[in-house]
Structure 1
Amino acid sequence: MDAVIEQIAAQSKLPLEQAVPLPVQAYWDPEFYEREIEQIFRSDWVCVSRVEDVPAPGDYLAVDLGGEPMIVVRGQDDVVRVLSRVCRHRYVDLLGGKTSPDKRARGCAEWFECPYHSWTYRPDGSLLNAPEMLERPDFDRHDYGLRPIRHEIWQGFVFVNIDGQAEPLDMSGFEQILDQYDFTGWKTADVVDWGESTVNWKIMVENYAECYHHIGIHKETLQPLWPIGTVELGEPTGRDWFYSRMKAGPETASGEEDGYLQQPSWLPAHPALSAYQRSQSLLMVKFPMFMIVPSPDITFWFKAIPTGPETHRLEVALMVPEQHFGVENFEESVKEAADFFRTFQAEDSSINEYVQTTTRSMNARGGVLHRHEQAIWQMQKYLAWRLAGVDSDAPVADDDVAAAQGAAVLAATS
């Protein structure tokens, strides 16, 4: 694995016009995945929910990330918290035991009771009762509340940092590109639960973030809507995020305003957006897995969680401005949007599964990247930073580029 990580670090120094794909072991090797869990998913910021997932006091949502069982819960004080689900007594999952499958995922509770010895906790995490433990000398129930998971809320999105050691969450780059978008006032209108797929999380993120495949697998769905020729790649600034502007194509545009072809929509566009913003959807990712497609009427949030070296789980939320709930034909319009998503997601899902299968081929080597696969190149820089400590923002010496070129040629021919 050290050699694979060294190869990624070397490749991350190549300029975009010479970029190559990840070494294929990164898509299936269990040891590589364990390093990602420790150095990425436990130590970086990962988005796990929206605040409206727990709208009322006592509402909770269970989350499992990197082997860590958590619960997003709204307390009686109306504060949204993220807490460990591990009982402080003998480490049992509070939602385990005989908890029904539906209650195990989400619900509303006045308290949480451990199924093993009936220790109970309030929604704010404090210990409510520990049967017979008052007989233990010096036992203080205030010392045994559920452990908090470090979290931050950005525009309604709940991010967690499991080990508590990450730098403060920085979304300033996103905010600059979003401009008039502010998702604090957007709500989830529908959720498409795609379930678990037999695909490594990076294959899914790579496919999500590049539009080059519009001319292939999506030639009858996304290519007419966002032709590859109209897609503008964002400046590769920042080591942990990427964006592009997917502009409406002439074949499907709903009209023209101020010289901009307008993107067709299912619902009215957000009134704060300019004609320029209404001409496009943004394709944004904050690595490792925060993926949103801000659009004038409906924003798609891809909530993905890795579940193993070759699997991930995906839900996609359709978010709309709060004031649009109840507009004429609202439910029908949201359903049409969800059905359209299912159509192109089925295309993506099938091709991703093919890619996952062939990454074990002895001939899966020596590939090259197109400039519209810039996101893949940027994700390599992110991986090099998290796994090898390589600073992608630092200037790259000519000798380093030459060494990276040599490593890429060696990988292609060995």
Structure 2
Amino acid sequence: MRERAVQTVNDLVQRIARQAELPLPEAIPLPAQAYWDPGLYELELERIFRGDWVCIARVEQVPAAGDYLAVDLAAEPMMVVRGEDEEIRVFSRVCRHRYVDLLGGKTEDSQKERGCAEWFECPYHSWTYRLDGSLMNAPEMLDRPGFDQAAYGLRPIHQQIWQGFIFVNLDGLAEPLEMSGLERVLDKYDLANWRIATVVDWGETKVNWKIMVENYAECYHHIGIHKETLQPLWPIGTVELGDEQGDDWFFSRMKAGAETAAGEEDGHLLQPSWLPPQRDLSPYQRSQSLLMVKFPMFMIVPSPDITFWFKAIPTGPETHRLEVALLVPQEHFDLEGREDGVQEAADFFRTFQGEDASINEFVQSTTRSANASGGVLHRHEQAIWQLQKYLASRLSEAGSTTSR
């Protein structure tokens, strides 16, 4: 019987780096150990999820002054807050006094994830903070010798907003968020003028985050698990890999198939839609959906009428949480029949996501097998190869000094 060889984190990172150097025609999947190893996961948290840009929210989720949204990432409890000056800020939820979560304690369950507040009060010793993060009051502390009230505001989290999406960089050391490549591909799409119409909370799944991202980003599996759902809509034969890629992003064009096309214009088969398309999109743009990923986990599928945003957060070596928001153009919010169209789209999502979730769990369940090795990648799995390059670039330096 074959015995599974367990590698140190150093060896595992070096193996990923070697694979990332292979040309695409020779590309192979990640080592199976990369999908469950606790040491590698800790390294990913430090170097990727604390060191890179991660999308955590949309601006319309905190529409009014005092609105807040709680998010946890890489053991960092945060909250997105809109201030009285209408500015959006992201703060650590950890009280500056004795480290209590400001939304913990006796905070009502309904208020722990989102709500509206005039200020934030620590449930332990009642330190209170304004919406801009500054310390408003520290009971019986203001006369403490040398106590500087201005020095004990909530710690801000480095953040940037791109087309309505809020990104954070936890360690504050990342280069400015670079999205120009995706912007060129989006062309006339302006997602800053789109709004969340509904959210499907998929909950936590027993699947490593990389398995989820790999499955999302490749269309080769349309001919398998999605043969009755996505394959008729976007046949693998019509999917075009993007003609430009970046070191940390990938896209493909999923073009409508003849079986389900809603018509033809200027020689392009038009993609069926649940709502009217965004204004000013060309027939070419209305013939397809864009499958886009900015590593590690920013995943959007802009379509002429509805954009799907996959908000995934790793929760452990073999688990992640997933919410999927359906965005529609702002101009459609007063459209008659909008809610019905969005509901149909959400139901369709639940169908194919159920297929994805089940197959991903099957993959996860066999990654500890001694026989989980020796695979090869199809050209439509290019995103998996690019993910390996991303992982190698982020993990190799730290991996050289880390061991199990």
Would the TM-score normalized by the shorter structure come out above 0.5? yes
Residue of structure 2 equivalent to 1:53: 61
Cα shift at 1:272: 1.8
Q: Which moved more, 1:162-171 or 1:99-108?
A: 99-108
Q: Say whether 1:190 aligns with 2:198.
A: yes
Contact persistence 1:236–1:378 (CA under 8 A): no
Q: Which moved more, 1:367-376 or 1:236-245?
A: 236-245
Residue of structure 2 equivalent to 1:325: 333
Out of 163, 168, 173, the residue aligned to residue 160 of structure 1 is 168
Quick one: which amino acid aligns to residue 292 of structure 2? M
TM-score (norm 2): 0.96
Instruction: State, as a whole percentage, how many aligned pairs show the same letter.
Output: 75
Taking the TM superposition and a 5 Å limit, the aligned residue runs for 1:1-400 are 1-235=9-243, 237-389=245-397
TM-score (norm 1): 0.93
Cα shift at 1:235: 3.4
Partners of 1:179 and 1:236 lie apart in 2 by 14
Quick one: which amino acid aligns to residue 45 of structure 2? I
Contact persistence 1:215–1:223 (CA under 8 A): yes
CA root-mean-square deviation: 0.9
Partners of 1:100 and 1:133 lie apart in 2 by 27
Partners of 1:198 and 1:54 lie apart in 2 by 30
Quick one: which amino acid aligns to residue 19 of structure 2? Q
Partners of 1:140 and 1:2 lie apart in 2 by 45
**Secondary structure at the residue paired with 2:382?**
helix
Partners of 1:177 and 1:105 lie apart in 2 by 34
**Secondary structure at the residue paired with 2:213?**
helix
Gaps spanning 5+ residues in structure 2: where?
1-8, 399-404
Cα shift at 1:389: 4.7
Contact persistence 1:8–1:23 (CA under 8 A): yes
CA displacement 1:224-282 (0-9 Å, x = unmatched): 00000000001353110000000000000000001000000000001121110000000
Contact persistence 2:245–2:251 (CA under 8 A): no
**Secondary structure at the residue paired with 1:349?**
helix
Aligned length: 390
Partners of 1:212 and 1:277 lie apart in 2 by 22
Cα shift at 1:123: 1.2
Partners of 1:365 and 1:167 lie apart in 2 by 36
Cα shift at 1:62: 0.3
Partners of 1:381 and 1:76 lie apart in 2 by 43
CA displacement 1:190-238 (0-9 Å, x = unmatched): 1000000000000000000000000000000000000000000013531
Gaps spanning 5+ residues in structure 1: where?
391-414
CA displacement 1:90-113 (0-9 Å, x = unmatched): 111101111122211110011111
Contact persistence 1:248–1:280 (CA under 8 A): yes
